[in-house]
A and B are shown apart, each in its own frame.
Chain A
Amino acid sequence: MLETLQALAEPSRFQIVELLRGGPRPVGDMVEKLGLRQPQVSKHLRVLSEAGLVDVRVDAQRRIYGLRAAPLRELEQWIERYRRIWEGNFQRLDAVLEELKTKEKKGGSKKRKSAD
């Protein structure tokens, strides 16, 4: 997991992953799209491949890279846990607000000094 995050934390690698969303691509094509030199792109692809984020298939003399879903799924599940914390917090806040609204309606325009 940490490996996935480290691999994604580098901007060019993140861009490569985003580029591969559209489907597998040959290296030459990515070099052109990213405006990076071929050795740089190859280096990034090596890191992504070691992290299990991409795999490669050789077609004639071209190397075609594609995304692997497994590590991203794992990351998604992990992020989801934190999203749920806030979703939960905000649902409780919704309930607190409903209560405050009801209290105000009942209290009418009477102003009451609370001890906060």
Chain B
Amino acid sequence: MEAKSERAPIKKNSGTLKVTTPSDREVAMTRVFDASRRLVFKAWTTPELMKRWLYGPDEWRLAVCEFDMRVGGKVRFEWRNPEGKSMGLSGVCREAVAPERLVFTEVWDEDWTGGETLVTMVFAEDAGKTTVTQTVLYSSQAARDGALKTGMEHGAAMSYDRLAELLTSMA
């Protein structure tokens, strides 16, 4: 739909995903986006927009997306694959300050995170760019590490940033 000469409008340098483990029970993921936080917040909280980018592994696509941004509001995400299988999570909105901050609980239908997790998202804007920090707090360290083992939980699967460092140093 766009002119061919307009290729690659996405700046590679704004896109480094950083994963850290701020404490024994947390995994934090940071990413910078080249847009105002008002737009980033919008893209992150509007179901029609979220469905366009928040995919699961392989062919899994976001099919159900409910995000009631009121304290106590319902959160429901469901991904489906071409075979018609689904995996989902439910939660409750704890805090929503547009376009700065979102706090909500999450629990997967097949509870592979060892209980509910608390997700805190912070949107910080600086010079037209927005840094999004998504921190997932697990019920215990065992739960966090357990989530890593089952491998389905998004943040936890990448929590071993120190391992990546380790691998680099061994190469």
Q: Mark B132-171, 1 if CB is under 8 A from A, else 0.
A: 0000000000000100110100100110101110110110
Among B29, B31, B54, B166, contact of A18 (Cβ-Cβ < 8 Å): B166
Also in contact, A93 and B53, with CB within 8 A (given A76-B167, A82-B158): yes
Bound-state CA distance A2–B150 (Å) is 9
Bound-state CA distance A100–B49 (Å) is 10
> Are B49 and A96 in contact (CB-based, < 8 A)?
yes
Also in contact, A92 and B53, with CB within 8 A (given A79-B163, A79-B164): yes
Residue of B nearest to A82 (CB): B157
Also in contact, A83 and B158, with CB within 8 A (given A75-B163, A93-B43): yes
Q: Mark B34-60, 1 if CB is under 8 A from A, else 0.
A: 110001101110111100111111000
- Majority DSSP secondary structure for residues of A touching B: helix
Bound-state CA distance A5–B42 (Å) is 37
Among B10, B19, B56, contact of A91 (Cβ-Cβ < 8 Å): B10
Bound-state CA distance A21–B39 (Å) is 43
> Are A87 and B17 in contact (CB-based, < 8 A)?
yes
> Are B57 and A85 in contact (CB-based, < 8 A)?
yes
Bound-state CA distance A9–B159 (Å) is 12
Bound-state CA distance A38–B35 (Å) is 55
The 7 closest A-B pairs by CB, nearest first: A92-B53, A82-B157, A97-B35, A93-B53, A94-B10, A9-B145, A100-B39
A interface residues (Cβ-Cβ under 8 A, vs B): 2, 5-6, 8-9, 17-18, 21, 67, 69, 72-73, 75-76, 78-79, 81-83, 85-98, 100-101, 104, 116
B interface residues (Cβ-Cβ under 8 A, vs A): 9-10, 14-15, 17, 19, 29, 31, 33-35, 39-40, 42-44, 46-49, 52-57, 145, 148-149, 151, 154, 157-158, 160, 162-164, 166-167, 169-170
22 A-B residue pairs with CB within 8 Å? A5-B145, A9-B145, A72-B170, A79-B160, A79-B163, A81-B57, A82-B151, A82-B158, A85-B56, A85-B57, A86-B17, A88-B55, A90-B31, A92-B55, A93-B43, A94-B10, A95-B10, A98-B35, A100-B35, A100-B43, A101-B35, A101-B39
